[in-house]
Chain A
Amino acid sequence: MNQSKVSGNFLFNRLKKYIVMPLSMSLFLLVSSGCWDRVEINDLAIVTGIALDAASHNNIQLSVQLFMPTGAGGGTTQGGGGGSPGGQQQSFVISANGVNIADAVTNIEEKTSRRIFWGQSDTIFFGKKLAKKGIGPSIDFLTRYPKPREHAYVFVAEGKGKKILEYKPHLERNSSEVLRELAKKQTGMKVSLKDLAQMLSDPYESPVLPWVKYRGERARISGIALFSGDKMVGRMNKQTTRGVQWLRNEIRTATITVNPKGKGRVSMYLLRSKSKLQPVIKNGTWEIIARIEAEDDIVQNTTNLDVMDPKVINKLEKDTGYLIKKRINAAVRQAQKKDLDIFGFSDAFHRKYPSVWKTSKDRWKDIFPDVTVKVNTKVKILRPGVTSKSTSKP
């Protein structure tokens, strides 16, 4: 019938609209999805760590630690086999030189069959030499190029950064993972790419980066490298760094050992700590009052003191406070000697006294060495551990 013919045509038109169109479109998509941004994991060389070193002729040497998916024997063919590959290699390092980091990246791309993938790089190491020359240009690349993480941790390596990437750790998959975990524990300093960019953008604050030592097949964070602008100008040892960390409110794990009256030692494990900087400008003298609060547990006691005695605890608390104060003062002294504001004092003054700051901020370099720092500590020992008496002494 005529009517059915019409409806047939109509149906065909609708079919065209609802089925043929999407079908052809999805075919088109399937064909065209081969281009643009699609990249299979099989074609990626996953970067787990980056090292930047100074090379000859003012060049930069870029080393990347690449993950080896085949070498790891991840247990795809042998069900449940994955895991310890023994001495098998899980990652390797490639490096290339270039006039700047972008150039070096191109050179590395030329050496690898796969596309370099930066999105998972959690650690960035600067060699000492490059750090002394200036890290600014490299940081510019790392923050502008959208791939590396803002959360990546940045370190300065004693010697060459490449060395640290190259060593094979025992517990983790690769060395950059080791350093990342170390940084997270915050026994040493922890500076992320974002933090570094923040410090560099502030002309009054001096950046610091954790200093990585590599001795005897072990890498560890040991103190900090001090920067003036983007150039490394010195270092601070581990103990003094603790002082910096106290002031910057960045201490998370610590064991504080005091030595009351020279007989034996009492060690305390830090539970919580909090520090606050309170700037004061009085009669032209600039002063910082640092209030530090800490709560500890006793973990070891080799003295014959009764740690259940409130008086003893009181004494211990005072000793601990004194120790913290000593550390901080040492750090401040060193920083002031080098005229590097690594504590964020400038920010504190800026916030509290914006108008004074505006007029005298250009003289900050002259003011900082003379800022008096007063430390008020308030230590609380909460528990004497699980035993009350010292068990080592009769």
Chain B
Amino acid sequence: MIEKRKITSAQMAIIMYTSITSTGILLLPSAAFQYAKRDIWLALIIGAALGLFTVFAACRLHQYFPKKTLIQYSEQLLGRFAGKLIGFIYIFFVIYLNSFILREYSESIISNFLSSTPLFIVMGSMVFVCSLGVRSGIEVLGRCAQIFMPVIVLLFLLILILLIPELEPLNILPVMENGIIPPIKGSLVAMIWFGEYILISSLLPFVSDPNKGLKNGMTSVLATLSAIVMVSLVILSLFGQLMGDYLFPVIVAARYISIADFVEHVEAIIMAIWVLGAFMKISLFYYVTVLETAQWFKLSDYRPLVFPLGLLLVIFCRWIFPNLQQLIESVGLAFTAFSVSIEIGLPVLLLISAFIFQKLRQNKGNQRNESV
């Protein structure tokens, strides 16, 4: 086994929750608002359905092929060439998504806090720290997530509580002003985030209690959903229509807090959440990239790949998005289409072929060997 240590399924759920929630609360509200407007919460709920499906698919596939990651069983299912191709697309997708996250992180830090620090330094320092985490293995990432999750949740609740005096809940109304279409469009954006749950297919083989994986995975999706919905509603009732005008509405909202002349400008708290969350998310994607690449090449250890792939990540990130506008633009168009189609297509394809594979195996009895 390429990874010797194990995590519990609760740790897996917490890793996914921290990483998806923290980027979700920062970016998803304004991105989904572009389409869904005031029905953003509806869009999120629809989007979360994909998360539930993905978790289900990943767990089901894991039942068919225990101890195997997506790369390994796709090769077994679809044959060498197609399997490798699927594996390549998957790895590419994960790197692409990760470079997107890294860029989002760097841009938000630069545009809000460190406006004249070179992009390379901000990205490089983060990737370096992540690479330390990735080198230490999934077990350490799981523990880090367990340490960071309460911090993130508490700080996050603190922000929401501090914002209560500023809220105007009427801003949420009216519901479904323009019918169901805008929320559905918005839900496509939300699906980028919820579809990221496909990554658990790479973690499940290292889970010590996989039978609880489905339950904990589902809980994780729902917890993520509730956190993001809560934030969206708070931002919406604070800013109303203005919400779409801000790139990072949560940071602006935190800056808006002013209590007793002393608790002011608490965007530092948001930044703390954001850096912690970005660390978890980039590390998770980074880890999956490194692990799956090692499996794709059939290496015995993934550690030597950590630093080279980190460098690749930084370069990739600069190369894909020349500036912030392109980054935002891509959330709307190609990026959504690309990621959502992979996030939906991959599990569906694998699930169907696994089903057929299973049937074939039943028909042929035990003639067929496990390893094709």
Asked if A and B touch directly (CB within 8 angstroms), the answer is: yes
Residues of chain A with a CB closer than 8 A to B173's CB: 351
What residue of chain A has the Cβ atom nearest to residue B176's Cβ?
Answer: A354
Given A350-B174, A351-B173: A36 in contact with B245 (beta carbons within 8 A): no
Residues of B contacting A143 with CB < 8 Å? 245
Contact pattern, A 84-123, Cβ under 8 Å of B = 1, otherwise 0: 0000000000000000000000000000000000010000
Q: Is A302 an interface residue (CB 8 A)?
A: no
B256 near A151: Cβ-Cβ < 8 Å: yes
Question: Among A36, A37, A194, A350, which residue has its beta carbon within 8 angstroms of that of B239?
Answer: A194
Q: Which residues of B contact A351 (CB under 8 A)?
A: 170, 173-174
Q: How far is the CA of A352 from the CA of B170 in the complex (A)?
A: 11
Q: Chain B 155-189 against A: per-residue CB contact (8 Å), 1 yes, 0 no? A: 00000000000000010011001000000000000
Cα(A202)–Cα(B244), bound, Å? 13
Tell me whether A288 is interfacial, beta carbon within 8 Å. Answer: no
A202 touches B241 (CB 8 A): yes
Whether a CB of chain B sits under 8 angstroms from the CB of A233 is no
The one of A151, A201, A347, A358 that contacts B242, using a Cβ cutoff of 8 Å: A201
B252 close to A36 (CB less than 8 A): no
List residues 192-207 of chain A with CB under 8 A from any CB of chain B: 194, 197-198, 201-202
Q: Which residue of B lies closest to A347 (CB)?
A: B170
Number of residues from B at the complex interface, CB < 8 A: 24
- Which residues in A have their C-beta under 8 angstroms from that of B242? 194, 197-198, 201
A37 and B240 form a contact (CB under 8 A): no
Within 8 A of A (CB), among B234-255: 239-242, 245, 252, 255
Closest to B117 in A: A36
Does A293 reach chain B (CB closer than 8 Å)? no
Partner of A146, one of B115, B118, B170, B239: B115
**B114 at the A interface (CB under 8 A):** yes
Report chain B residues within 8 Å CB of A150.
252, 255-256
A132, CB-defined interface residue at 8 Å? no
Shortest CB distance B254–A (Å):
10
Cα–Cα, bound, A215→B112 (Å): 40
By a CB distance below 8 angstroms, the chain B residues around A194 are 239, 242, 252, 256
CA distance A197 to B249 in the complex (A): 14
The answer to whether A151 and B255 touch (CB under 8 A), given A201-B242, A351-B174, A354-B174, is: yes
Residue total for A at the interface (Cβ-Cβ under 8 A): 19
Bound state CA distance, A83 and B352, in angstroms? 77
Determine the chain A residues whose CB is within 8 A of the CB of B241 once the complex forms: 198, 201-202
- Contact with B114, one of A37, A119, A202, A352 (Cβ below 8 angstroms): A37
Q: Is B6 an interface residue (CB 8 A)?
A: no
Give B218-264 interface residues, CB cut-off 8 Å to A.
Answer: 239-242, 245, 252, 255-256, 258, 264
Residue of B nearest to A198 (CB): B242
Tell me the residues in window 261-285 of chain B with beta carbons closer than 8 Å to chain A beta carbons: 264-265
- Residues from 103 to 128 in B contacting A, C-beta threshold 8 Å: 111-118, 121
A389 at interface by CB-CB < 8 Å: no
A149 at interface by CB-CB < 8 Å: yes
Contacts of A347 in B (CB 8 A): 170
What residues of chain B lie closer than 8 Å to A358, measured between beta carbons?
177
CB distance from A285 to the nearest CB of B (A): 21
Contact B111–A146 (Cβ < 8 Å): yes
A residues in contact with B170, CB < 8 Å: 347, 351
B114 near A36 with CB under 8 A, answer yes
Q: Once bound together, how far apart are the Cα atoms of A198 and B111, in whole Å?
A: 22
A259 CA to B114 CA, complexed, in Å: 60
Chain B residues in 8 Å Cβ range of A197: 242, 245
B binding-site residues for A, Cβ under 8 Å:
111-118, 121, 170, 173-174, 177, 239-242, 245, 252, 255-256, 258, 264-265
Chain A: residues with CB nearer than 8 A to chain B? 36-37, 119, 143, 146, 149-151, 194, 197-198, 201-202, 347, 350-352, 354, 358
* 22 contacting pairs across A/B (C-beta < 8 A): A37-B113, A37-B114, A37-B115, A37-B117, A146-B112, A149-B255, A149-B265, A150-B252, A150-B255, A151-B255, A151-B256, A151-B258, A151-B264, A194-B242, A194-B256, A197-B242, A198-B240, A198-B241, A198-B242, A351-B170, A351-B173, A354-B174
Closest 4 A/B residue pairs (Cβ): A351-B173, A354-B174, A36-B117, A354-B177
